[in-house]
Amino acid sequence: MNNDKLSSVAKAIVAKHKGVLAADESNPTIKKRFDSIKVESTEENRRRYREILFTTEGIERYVGGVILFDETLRQSTRDGTPFAELLSNRGIFPGIKVDKGAKALALYPEEKIAEGLDGLRERLVEYKQMGAKFAKWRAVIEINERDVPTAFGIRANAHVLARYAALCQELDIVPIVEPEILMDGVHGIERCEIVTSRVLDAVFTELDAHHVLFEGMLLKPNMVIAGMKCARQESVQQVAEATIRCMIRYVPAAVPGIVFLSGGQSAEDATDHLNAINMMGPHPWQVSFSYGRALQAPVLAAWKGQESNMAAAQKTFLKRCQLNGIARDGKYTRAMETTG
Ligand code: 13P
C-alpha cells in the first residue's frame, strides 16, 4: 500500500472546481433512465450515451473522476480508444463501481446489504490493469417510520464498506465510501440527521478498525435533508447547516474530500445545496459532488437518443458540470441557470 499515491489521487479528484461524475448505473438502472426518454437499452446505445458524456469538450475543468460500470470500463469510443484511456488522456481519473447491488439483509426484514466482497480482490486486480484508479461501493440505508435502520443494520453495512475500502487500498486504488441514506420516505430532516450521524460514526469506527488510511479515501454521503414525502421541506440554508453540522461532528479532518450524492434531488437543488455548504466554508475537507442524476437528467432530456441532439446534450452537460464547479466556490446563483 502506497500512502502517498493514494492520498495524491484522492486529492486530485477533488482539486479546485472539480468533482465526480457518477456514470456507473448498472444495466437495470440505466434501462430505467433510458425508458424515461424512450430509448432502448442496447449495449450500443449505452456505449454511445457514455461516449457523448466522456467526449464533451471542457468537462476536464470540473470533473476530476468518472465512476464507470463494469460494462463501460470494457467499452471504447467509436475510433477504438478504451474509455479509461480517453478519460486518463484528458486528465480525468477513471473509477469503477464494485459492489454488486443491495440485497435483503437476512433476518432483518426491510434492511439491505450490498453484495460483492467475495472475489473482490481478484476483480480489483483486473480493474487496476484496465486503468481504474479509484472505486466506489454503495451501501443503501432506508429510513422507515418505525425502527429501521436498526443498530445492527448500520453496523453490518459499515463493516462491509470497511472491508471493501481496505481491499482497495491494498492495491493502491482509492475507495469512495458511500453510505447512502435514501431520501424516500416521510421522515423529517431531524430523523435524517440522527441516522446520518449514527451511520457516519459507525463507518469511521469500522474504517479505522480495518486500518483504512483516511487520507487515501473519499466519503460519498447523502446530504441531511427531509424525506421526499415529508410535508415540511427546509430551506437551502437549513439543509446546508444540518449537513455541515453532521459532517463536522463525524468526518475526520484527515479525509481529503466529501463528495455528495444527489439522491433524487433536482439538478438545480443539488447545485444550490452544494453551493450553500461551500459558502459556509472553509471546511476541513474539500466539499464537492459525485452526482449521477443531478448531472445527467438534463443531459438525457436533451439527447433523447437522437444523434442530431448530441451537441445540445454536450452543451447541457458542460453547463451542469460548470455550475457545480462554481458551487464549489460558493459562487453559484439560480440566475446562472438561465444565462449562457
Ligand atoms: P445520484 O447522484 O443519482 O444519487 O447517484 C449517485 C450515485 O452514484 C449513487 O450510487
pLDDT in tens, 283-340: 999 999 999 999 999 999 999 999 999 999 999 999 999 999 999 999 999 999 998 6
Mean pLDDT, the chain, whole residue set: 98
Q: Kindly state the DSSP code that residue 335 receives in the 8-state scheme.
A: G
Tell me the CB-side half-sphere exposure of residue 5, using CA atoms within 13 A: 11
pLDDT at site 268 = 98
N- to C-terminal Cα separation, the chain: 45
Residue nearest to atom 1 of ligand 1 (CA): 292
The closest-lying atom of ligand 1 relative to the alpha carbon of residue 296 is 3
At a CB cut-off of 8 Å and minimum separation 6, what does 106 contact? none
Q: Which three cell numbers stand for residue 257?
A: 474530500
* Contact (CB, 8 A) for 122 and 163: no
Confidence of residue 139 (pLDDT cuts 50, 70, 90): very high
Catalytic residue set: 178, 220
Per-residue model confidence as pLDDT tens digits over 144-180: 999 999 999 999 999 999 999 999 999 999 999 999 9
E-assigned strands of the chain?
19-23, 63-68, 93-97, 102-104, 112-114, 134-141, 174-181, 218-219, 257-260, 286-291
Q: Which three cell numbers stand for residue 329?
A: 466556490
Per-residue model confidence as pLDDT tens digits over 197-220: 999 999 999 999 999 999 999 999
Per-residue model confidence as pLDDT tens digits over 72-110: 999 999 999 999 999 999 999 999 999 999 999 999 999
Strand partners, 33: none
Per-residue model confidence as pLDDT tens digits over 2-58: 999 999 999 999 999 999 999 999 999 999 999 999 999 999 999 999 999 999 999
**Residue 293 near ligand 1, beta carbon < 6 Å:** yes
Give me the helix-helix angle, 310-327 and 43-54, nearest 10°: 50
**Residue 95 near ligand 1, beta carbon < 6 Å:** no
Residue nearest to atom 10 of ligand 1 (CA): 138
Q: How far is the CA of 292 from the centre of ligand 1 (A)?
A: 4
Residue nearest to atom 4 of ligand 1 (CA): 263
At residue 67's C-alpha, the angle toward residues 7 and 251, to 5°, is 45
Per-residue model confidence as pLDDT tens digits over 231-270: 999 999 999 999 999 999 999 999 999 999 999 999 999 9
Per-residue model confidence as pLDDT tens digits over 276-289: 999 999 999 999 99
pLDDT at site 300 = 98
pLDDT at site 340 = 64
Element (H, E) at 217: none
The closest-lying atom of ligand 1 relative to the alpha carbon of residue 291 is 2
Q: Which three cell numbers stand for residue 318?
A: 458542460
Which residue in the block uniquely carries the three cell numbers 448498472? 26
- Global pTM? 0.98
Longest dimension (CA), the chain: 54
Residue range 174-197: average pLDDT?
98
Could you tell me where the DSSP H helices lie in 104-188?
120-129, 151-170
**57 burial type by CB count under 10 A (0-12 exposed, 13-18 middle, 19+ buried):** exposed
pLDDT at site 101 = 97
**Residue 261 near ligand 1, beta carbon < 6 Å:** yes
Which residue in the block uniquely carries the three cell numbers 486529492? 11
pLDDT at site 339 = 81
Q: How far is the CA of 70 from the centre of ligand 1 (A)?
A: 16
Q: How far is the CA of 131 from the centre of ligand 1 (A)?
A: 22
Q: How far is the CA of 68 from the centre of ligand 1 (A)?
A: 12
Q: Kindly state the DSSP code that residue 66 receives in the 8-state scheme.
A: E
The closest-lying atom of ligand 1 relative to the alpha carbon of residue 67 is 8
